[in-house]
């Protein structure tokens, strides 16, 4: 493995990790370090009495560390790889210790099981029976959900703040029992409405309508187009075989990583990587799910360009995709954005006409600047059209410092009437907010 320092730093999840990784890439910080053809490993002295055990699978560039960080790779993994690139000869050449060998063995075993599973013939009859049984469970659950929704409308929503989270959680659990986890999450989001906000009724009603549309769409699934039916099934929580997707021809492009959004629930970390195809103008969402203590298969850093083939999930308005090939490129391509909010609104209207219930999407918009109006921050384009800024207090000061109050190109993520800036072009460099 011969990675340069610049290539290694592109693996960092954020700028803070880059800085910490550089600081720790110092031999004095490491109690031990060694390598062989399979792995690189070392022990880094932290604040505790026991050093952190860090290991890297060199065949697939995967990381594991005993530190409590939830970032992948963590600063110790980056530091060890940087140190190896700088001072390869200082690493002892030896057999892997038990804690490294066991990790490598588990990774190999997992890969072998995956290959075996792929090679095992699919029992299509049994598969069809399982699908039929699940669809019946979902139908039964939606029947109960429709009664619940009608009770809310019949009684009015003004008493919703008094219900408490347990009331919503009970119906969410009913959807889990019905094998409709997507609907369960939508109900939980309904219960998490900010009832202290001035216009909470609008947010609550919009979410209520979305749940109803998905439920009714499922009941009318036989009359829907194949793509819209697939969208409804995805919203409910039916999964698709990603190996079958990878067998399809995707879109080859040089993709710019626009943003990475990370959420953590219990021991599962979800990465939402937003990409933009510089040649096709196609936006994409690549999801990665990471169980605590395990490394992710993909390392996508906002601002980096990757040359890759993406296969999109079937949809009336495709956005989610999987990487079919391991990305690698040194190219930096030109990016073309929307000239203003009117063009984005037109695009949004087209998407909504095909897919009324949808999640946020990214857009690159040219020459917008932050302006304050009615005690809120808005993004104003060159035609003086304005859009309300989502999560304004989180990034407004950094945005103002970068823009200096002037119009700049930026990436926003959102839908309908609120968008959150996530990155801007400053002095021809893409900077994450």
Contacts 24+ apart (CB under 8 A), 217-223: 217/357, 218/138, 218/139, 218/142, 219/139, 219/142
Alpha-carbon distance of 321 to 244, in angstroms, equals: 13
Alpha-carbon distance of 340 to 289, in angstroms, equals: 34
Bond into 229 cis (ω within 30): no
Residue 37 pLDDT more than 90?
A: no
Q: Identify the H or E element spanning 368.
A: strand 361-373
Length in residues, the chain: 433
Number of other residues whose CB lies within 10 A of the CB of residue 405? 9
Residue 108's pLDDT band, with cuts at 50, 70 and 90, is: confident
* Residue labelled with tokens 């609907």: 183
Domain ranges of the chain: 5-118, 124-236, 242-323, 341-432
Q: Identify the H or E element spanning 344.
A: helix 341-354
What letter does residue 338 receive in the DSSP assignment? Answer: B
Nearest CA among 73, 15, 79, 72 for reference residue 42: 79
Encode pLDDT of 206-249 as tens digits: 999 999 999 999 999 999 999 999 999 999 988 888 888 888 88
Phi, psi of 99 (to 5 degrees): -70, -25
What Å distances lie between residue 414 and 263, 348, 390, 420, CA to CA?
Answer: 17, 10, 8, 6
Encode pLDDT of 304-355 as tens digits: 888 889 999 999 999 999 988 766 566 677 888 999 999 999 999 999 988 8
Residue 3 pLDDT more than 80?
A: no
What does pLDDT average to over the chain? Answer: 87
Q: Residue 34's beta-bridge partner residues?
A: 41, 92
Encode pLDDT of 52-99 as tens digits: 999 988 877 788 898 888 787 889 999 999 999 888 888 989 888 999
Rg (CA), the chain: 24
pTM for the model stands at 0.70
What letter does residue 49 receive in the DSSP assignment? Answer: S
Alpha-carbon distance of 48 to 117, in angstroms, equals: 42
Residue 112 pLDDT more than 70?
A: no
Q: Which residues touch 16 (CB under 8 Å, ≥6 apart)?
A: none
Q: Identify the H or E element spanning 345.
A: helix 341-354
């Amino acid at each position: 493995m011969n990675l340069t320092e610049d290539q290694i730093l592109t693996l960092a999840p954020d700028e803070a990790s880059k800085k910490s990784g550089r600081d720790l890439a110092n031999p004095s910080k490491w109690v031990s370090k060694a390598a062989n053809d399979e792995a690189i490993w070392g022990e880094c002295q932290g604040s505790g009495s026991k050093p952190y055990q860090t290991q890297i699978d060199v065949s697939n560039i995967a990381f594991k560390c005993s530190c409590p960080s939830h970032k992948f790779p963590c600063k110790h993994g980056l530091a060890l790889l940087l140190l190896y690139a700088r001072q390869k000869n200082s690493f002892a050449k030896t057999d892997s210790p038990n804690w490294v060998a066991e990790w490598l063995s588990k990774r190999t075993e997992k890969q072998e099981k995956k290959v075996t599973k792929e090679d095992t013939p699919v029992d299509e009859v049994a598969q069809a029976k399982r699908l039929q049984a699940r669809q019946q469970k979902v139908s039964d659950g939606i029947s109960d959900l429709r009664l619940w929704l009608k009770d809310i409308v019949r009684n009015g929503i003004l008493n919703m703040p008094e219900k408490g989270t347990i009331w919503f959680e009970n119906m969410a659990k009913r959807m889990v029992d019905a094998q409709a986890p997507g609907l369960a999450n939508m109900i939980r989001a309904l219960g998490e409405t900010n009832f202290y906000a001035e216009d909470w009724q609008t947010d609550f009603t919009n979410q209520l309508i979305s749940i109803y549309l998905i439920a009714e769409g499922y009941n009318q699934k036989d009359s829907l187009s194949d793509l819209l039916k697939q969208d409804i099934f995805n919203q409910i929580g039916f999964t698709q075989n990603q190996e079958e997707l990878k067998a399809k021809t995707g879109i080859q492009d040089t993709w710019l990583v626009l943003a990475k959004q990370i959420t953590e629930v219990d021991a599962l970390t979800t990465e939402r990587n937003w990409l933009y195809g510089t040649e096709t103008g196609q936006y994409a969402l690549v999801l990665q799910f990471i169980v605590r203590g395990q490394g992710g298969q993909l390392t996508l850093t906002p601002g980096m360009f990757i040359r890759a083939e993406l296969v999109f999930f079937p949809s009336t308005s495709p956005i989610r995709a999987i990487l079919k090939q391991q990305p690698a490129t040194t190219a930096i391509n030109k990016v073309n954005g929307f000239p203003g909010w009117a063009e984005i609104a037109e695009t949004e209207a087209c998407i909504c006409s095909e897919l009324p219930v949808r999640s946020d999407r990214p857009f690159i918009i040219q020459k917008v600047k932050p302006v304050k109006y009615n005690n809120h921050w808005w993004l104003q384009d060159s035609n003086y059209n304005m859009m309300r800024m989502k999560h304004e207090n989180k990034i407004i000061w950094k945005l103002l410092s970068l823009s200096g109050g002037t119009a700049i190109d930026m990436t926003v993520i959102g839908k309908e009437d609120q968008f959150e800036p996530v990155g801007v072009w400053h002095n021809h460099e893409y900077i994450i907010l």
